[in-house]
Every structure is written in C-alpha cells, then in structure tokens.
A = this chain, B = another copy of it.
Amino acid sequence: MSKKYQVVGIGNSIVDVLAHCEDTFLSDNGIDKGIMQLIDTARASDLYGKMGPAMEVSGGSAANTIAGLAAMGARTAYVGKVKDDQLGKIFAHDIRAQGADYEVPLAPADAVDETGRCMVLVTPDAERSMNTYLGVSEHLGPDDIDVAMMADSEWIYLEGYRFDGDLSHAAFAKAIEACESTDGKVSLTLSDPFCVERHRDAFRAMIRDHVDLLFCNEHEMQAMYQETSLEACLKQAVKECEIVACTIGERGALVVRGAETFHAPAVATEVVDVTGAGDIFAAGFLHGLVNGKDLLTCGRMGCIAAAEIISHIGARPEADLKELFKAEGL
C-alpha cells in the first residue's frame, strides 16, 4: 500500500518581504550579497525602516519546496512554526491553498516572538540578499514532530537552515527515526554556505548516517567538503550518501550517484529574481523521483521549475508547473 505522503518537509516558516534595491543599499547597510544573514528584531526594524516599498509573499526554503511539490500535484505536507498573528495566518493559508497539508498548531497570540520574516533585497542583477528574523519559527522542537506523519511519508525533506534552532537537532532526529522505521528516505538541503560553516560537523554526521539524497549548490558543496574542485567535493559526497543533486547556477545542475554523473542544463529565461530557485529545483527533482523518473529527468524537472521561479519576483510558482513539464514532454 502506498504511503499517504510522497514528501514531508520540515523548515523555517517565513514570510518574505521582497523589495528591489540598488547595490549601494547593500553596501551602505552592511549586507553581504547573495547569502542569508540571521538578524535580530532591532536590526529587522532598522532595516525595514530603510528599505523601499515591498511585497509580502509566503516563503521559507522547505516551505517553498513543499508548495512547489503541491503545485506539481504531489501528496505532501509541511512542518514548521508560525504564530497566531496576521503573517502567520497568511503563511498557513498560502501553503494549504497550494494543496499541502499543514497541521502544526499556531503559537499563541501572546507568544513573545512573532511569525518569522525575511527581508529579501533584489538587486538589478536579479540576485537576492536575505535578512532573516526567525521569530517563532526558531522554536520548532521534537514536540512539533508528528511521528505518524513522518512514518507515513516516502521521503522527508530537511532544511539546512533549521540547524540554527536549539531544539531542531532533536526534532530532526525524531523525524528521521520515524521515517526510517517504515523504510522512508531522507533528503537534506545544505541551504547556504554560511549555514554550512556554522554546522559542518552536524551536517556531515547526518549525511553519513541518514541522508539518501543531498541538495546543494556549488558554493555550499565547496563549503561542506572543502576540496579543491567541485568534482572532488561531489566525489566525496557520494561516498557518504546515495544521490547528490547540485545546482550550478546558469549552467543547470549536476546529479551524481556512485560513479555516474548527469548534467541537466538550465532552461533559458529572463532572470528577474533568483529567490527560491534552489527550493523549487528540489521540488521538481523530488517530484520526478517519487514518480519513478530517471535521475537526468529529475534534474531536468528541477531546472524547468527553477526557470519559472526566477522569471518573476517571489519564490512561489505563478505558472502551472504541470503544464510546463508537459510542454517539455515530461
């Protein structure tokens, strides 16, 4: 009998606050381009006061992946924490409305921390620089993990950014144990090179002991394995987990399993905002995988979905991804 879920994701629940800015705004405000920085409430308030008019769109890395999977028609659920405030309700609405199950109770309205948000600054080159106030999202712990849900999923998808919370390691361990108890498989995304720097040993141990499928980009892969070339890093990684799916920017993605390497080319598009490109790549890849596609096809599905996301502002799909796959004969 097939499991209820094909993929269950665990991550930081974030509402993105997206605005265009010039490069000078980044340098004037000490923002490192292209990466994610964690910020506290004071910094969040200061930065928000200085940035331009914005739009708010539900985000969060694993949440974007799960929303993407739901949009593709996968049976999927998401686990992550928001508060019972306006942004929390927006987050919960958006992921459910996309078709994913989302049952984590809202943190009460009188909780100290608010729903997490990320000020995403998009420069004219379409690069995004992320400034994240985690808020209540940080407090997701083992009590929030529904073991029955994890056991009833073919895959779990773990967000690397979640390694930053105190209780997250125990939460991940509980989810992994439940999932593996029913022969479910574990995927992990490395999320960000600086996140890798902060948690390299914990990542490494999880990859070796549990991860079947590792998502990353080339910078994260280099940060993780610190070899002289990307190839050498990937070689090291596939000794430790079965499949590595590594995006390589405008060249697409490399998928490695054992001695095999597949190259999925990027799909040409006008690039407006790269926010969420890696997240939706993972969604397309996993969607292929749970539907029995070969690894090259999985990589291509990831690249097709990524091309849609980067062609507009925001990290959630606007076009019908199922139609896009169909148009490519997939």
Taking beta carbons and an 8 Å cutoff, which residues of A are in contact with B?
Answer: 20, 48-49, 51-58, 67, 85-87, 90, 93-95, 97-98, 114-115, 313-314, 316, 318
Option from B20, B55, B95, B97 in Cβ contact (under 8 Å) with A51: B97
**Given A85-B86, A114-B86; A94-B58 close (CB under 8 Å):** no
* Copies of the polypeptide in the assembly: 2
> From residue A21, how far is it (CB to closest CB) to chain B in Å?
11
**Given A53-B67, A53-B316, A98-B53; A93-B20 close (CB under 8 Å):** no
CA distance A53 to B100 in the complex (A): 11
Please, which residue of chain B has its CB at the minimum distance from the CB of A18? Answer: B55
Please, which residue of chain B has its CB at the minimum distance from the CB of A67? Answer: B53
CA distance A67 to B53 in the complex (A): 9
Option from B51, B55, B67 in Cβ contact (under 8 Å) with A314: B55
- The interface residues of chain B lying within 8 Å CB-to-CB of A67 are 53
Q: 9 A-B contacts, Cβ less than 8 Å apart?
A: A20-B318, A48-B93, A53-B58, A55-B56, A56-B57, A85-B85, A85-B86, A86-B114, A313-B318
Option from B51, B56, B94 in Cβ contact (under 8 Å) with A53: B94
